[in-house]
Structure 1
Amino acid sequence: MTEFGKALASTATPIPGLVVWELPVHGDSRGWFKENWQREKMTAAGLPDFGPVQNNISFNDAVGTTRGIHAEPWDKWVSVATGRIFGAWVDLREGPTFGAVFTTEIDPSRAIFVPRGVGNAYQTLEPDTAYVYLVNDHWSPNASYTFLNLADETAAIEWPIALDDVEISEKDLAHPRLADVTPMAPRKTLVVGAAGQLGRALRGEFGEAGDVEYATRTELDLTAPGLSTARRWRDYGTIVNAAAYTAVDRAETPEGRRDAWAANVTAVSALARIAEAHGITLVHVSSDYVFDGTSDVPYTEDSPIAPLGVYGQTKAAADAVVATVPRHYILRTSWVVGEGGNFVRTMASLAERGIDPSVVDDQVGRLTFTTDIARAVRHLLTTDAEYGVYNVTGEGAPGTWAQVARRVFELTGNDPARVKPVSTDEYFASAQNPVAPRPRNSILDLAKLAATGFVPTDGDAALEAYLTAAKAPEA
């Protein structure tokens, strides 16, 4: 019987993410009223903001009508408009709680949030029962579904009315036992820009798991008009954007400016629209170039942005776009080093070839190794850290480019005095092509990331390990 006057409250169940909700129902001589779905109140009380797009009603004439056990690739908010049900839920997702069971009764004063991949079934306990559910994706014949037999002996659901005595569809009778069920895989992670330095580091961090996909520009053009239908995006939980235009000097040319805005803003805007539309977490990598470098203290995530050149302007614009996505992480980095061509490899090569370089000595920052960025990406995702902006660099004392170069010479067994320090203005005085302005202070404050439990790698130790690995013979 419907209970009136309850306060909105939630109760967790043994199945992760499956939560029972008590709903306030107000009644008088005319009948009753309830707010079956009230986004503002319910999300404030802890319900995931799951973004329902479809409302379905299943009307059942007779007591004992039994439906299920179906697990769909979307979330559901289940309630009852009239009548009463016995509900049964079985975790059919990959993981340690696969096969876990929860049962309870649902009437108009109760509801339950059913996460993607949890099997849902019910049996009517009163005639003329209307079973109502909101879902956050449109039904599709191409979606992946998982089913379990209502009479499975392992789940051992204690149905109030014996299954032999109730109405069950032929399809439900034919569903497999738990031992034969294919668990529902988690929503996938897509890494775009997989061929770049960061993309390769992300592949090393996430590996070749079945729920992680990697795409190069040729495999997925982010500026193509068909991007919105290039994937079944609802199957993805995370997009990591490792693609970027990073030729900071070439970005100052007319052609480079167009290319930089296309790759760093237009493409990112397309990803942001997809992420927002499908509830996807968007991870984006930004840069110290969003700052003008005039600060005399390290930049925090909240420091005002003031990019000096085209590259920095495109990265700042992309940050603003990504920040509109409800689920987003923006990782700001500086002086990135990874596989392929970079400053450290260049200095090591000059040292070994006997060339004495002139290196700027009035820009200060820390190196950021792509392995640390990839590790930070995984950390933020797996710890469910608060969405927002995080600075990610190596840890330790900051230095200038000239100091880094000297350390590279030293670690490769060469005389660091061979590195000649010069000012930025001196270094670029004879440049024939446009030169992008550089921030003189690129030091990023790491306190916010550290508060999540992430421990950045010491920059000098990472540099030594990087050079050691670079010299090691290939297996």
Structure 2
Amino acid sequence: MTEFSKPLAAHETPIPGVVLYDLPVHGDNRGWFKENWQREKMLAVGLPDFGPVQNNISFNEKAGTTRGIHAEPWDKYVSVATGRIFGAWVDLREGPTFGAVFTAELDPSKAIFIPRGVGNAFQTLEDGTAYTYLVNDHWSADAQSQYTFLNLADETAAIAWPIPLEEAELSGKDRAHPRLADVVPMAPRKTLVLGADGQLGKALRRAYEGDASVEFAARAEFDLTDPASFENRNWKNYSTIINAAAYTAVDKAETPEGRRAAWAVNVTAVARLARVAVDHGLTLVSVSSDYVFDGSADVHDEAEGFSPLGVYGQTKAAGDAVVSVVPRHYIVRTSWVIGEGANFVRTMASLADRGVKPSVVDDQIGRLSFTEDIAAGIRHLLDTAAPYGVYNLTNDGDPQSWADIAKSVYTLSGHDASDVSGVSTEDYFRGKDAAPRPLRSALDLAKLRATGFAVEAWDRRLQAYVAGDG
């Protein structure tokens, strides 16, 4: 008999992501009423905001009707409209909990959330049982080909069916499903890394080396400026996009041609990615820049408003504003990026080796950001499911000027730091066509540290980089 007036409550199960809910059912002599799914209240007790798009009902005439075990390529929220069921769920996803089993009896006062890849089965315990479920993808014959199945009688799962299977009503297909030893686990949705051949993209390749769930796309595989790149991909197979691509030619962005290119890559393409993320419930990771600020503050935190000085900074700020409306987003703001490829540190090391005594700007203050640490920070945010939002992500340590860093490179290269002389930004760029630069670029790292990420000091990372280990 349905229990009335239980408080709404969530109960974890042995299968990660599978959560059993008590539902308040209000009844009297006329019958009963319940809010079967109420987004605001359910989110408050921990139900994922899974974005259902289809509601299905399975009516079962007789007690003993048994269906499953089917793992589907979408999330589902299951409840009973009338009658009772014995439900059985088996984790058929890749990973350490593959084969884990949970069973429970459901009546109209209970519901359960089943993530993608967890096998779902039920047996009716009363005649005239109606089983209902919300799913966050549309059923199709093609989607059914992506199911993973397990035999209801599998000895490893050892489900104690209340009505023995030989006495139950089963379909021929369900009787023929494979045993657990022959089941191919459902692979997780993929992470797509764009800009995979850039400095950060190469670091992300190393950070995710050996992870088959991460797919890398350079411009040849995914051109951000071509709408067809967005249209010709089955986004249902992905959970996350990491956009490591950007237009970063700061000075060229001030030209008519560069301005158009910067807006196309840093804003228009990002808006398309944001649309994809919203439409398909994906997490979008976007890399931002200290250039969204004018450099008037000594240290910039995540709450500071935009104040870009030049076109590049304007496009990055506009891209950040677009990404911020994606429900599941990480904006990773960095500065003075150093990785594999041409960059300031390699230029200084080359000058030192050639005996050049350069003049280097000494009134722009900030911290280096090594791509291996940016990549590690991005992976940390995703792996730990840190709260969505903006995170500053640079290396740690005392902020320095470009001239100070150049002197460190000279010293680490075995040359005399006094070979480097300082010059103001104004004097350095006098008579040149150059974009304005923020003078102070140090980013506050407290929010990132609070997630448990240990930020490496820039000077230690620089030492290893110059020595050839970075």
Calculate the TM-score normalised by the size of structure 2.
0.98
Aligned-partner Cα distance in 1 for 2:361–2:170: 77
For 1:447, give the aligned amino acid.
A
Distance (Å, rounded) in 2 between the aligned partners of 1:365 and 1:244: 21
Partners in 2 of 1:385 and 1:189 — Cα distance?
17
CA RMSD for the aligned pairs? 1.1
| Structural mapping, 1:231-246, within 5 Å | 231-246=233-248
Pairing of 1:308-387 with structure 2 (within 5 A):
308-387=309-388
Alpha-carbon distance in 1 for matches of 2:368, 2:168: 68
Correspondence for 1:289: 291
In the alignment, which residue of structure 2 is the partner of 1:444?
443
Distance 1:45 1:14 in 2: 18
Counterpart of 1:265, as a letter, is V
1:140-175 Cα shifts (integer Å, max 9, x gaps):
434421110000000000000011111111111111
Whole-Å Cα distance in 2 between the matches of residues 470 and 119 of structure 1? 46
Letter in 1 for 2:192: L
Question: How many angstroms apart in 2 are the aligned matches of 1:84 and 1:410?
Answer: 76
Distance in 2 between residues matched to 1:290 and 1:79, nearest whole Å: 48
Residue of structure 2 equivalent to 1:57: 57
Matches within 5 A, 1:3-152: 3-143=3-143, 144-152=146-154
Percent identity between matched residues is 69
TM-aligned CA deviation for residue 20 of structure 1:
0.5
TM-score (norm 1): 0.97
Q: 1:223 aligns with which of 219, 222, 225?
A: 225
The secondary structure found in structure 2 opposite 1:469 is coil
Letter in 1 for 2:270: V
* Worse-superposed segment, 226-235 or 165-174: 226-235
By how many angstroms is 1:177 displaced? 0.3
- Please, which runs of 5 or more residues in structure 2 have no aligned partner? none
Deviations 1:340-362 (A, max 9, x none): 00000001111111111111000
Q: Structure 1: 5+ residue runs without aligned partners?
A: none
Q: In 2, distance between residues paired with 1:122 and 1:93?
A: 19
TM-fit CA distance, 1:226: 3.1
Please tell me the residue identity of whatever aligns with 1:361. Answer: D
Query: Runs of 4 or more off by more than 4 Å in structure 1?
Result: none
The 1:81/1:437 distance shift into structure 2, 3 A limit, reads: same
The Cα shift of 1:29 comes to 2.6
AA matched with 1:416: A
Amino acid at match of 2:21: W
- For the residue of structure 2 that corresponds to 1:261, the secondary structure is helix
Q: CA deviation at 1:470?
A: 6.6
Per-residue deviation, residues 259-280 of structure 1 (Å, max 9, x unmatched): 0000001111111111111111
Structure 2 Cα separation of the partners of residues 255 and 223 of structure 1: 15
2:406 corresponds in structure 1 to 405
CA shift for structure 1 position 311? 0.4
State the shift of 1:370 in Å: 0.4
> What is the alpha-carbon distance in structure 2 between the residues aligned to residue 190 and residue 132 of structure 1?
34
1:223/1:270 contact within 8 Å kept: no
| 1:430 Cα deviation from its structure 2 partner | 2.7
Counterpart mapping for 1:164-175 below 5 A? 164-175=166-177
- Report whether the alignment pairs 1:298 with 2:299: yes
Amino acid at match of 1:185: A
The residue aligned with 2:453 is 454
Q: Which moved more, 1:442-451 or 1:23-32?
A: 23-32
- Select which of 257, 260, 265 maps to 2:262: 260
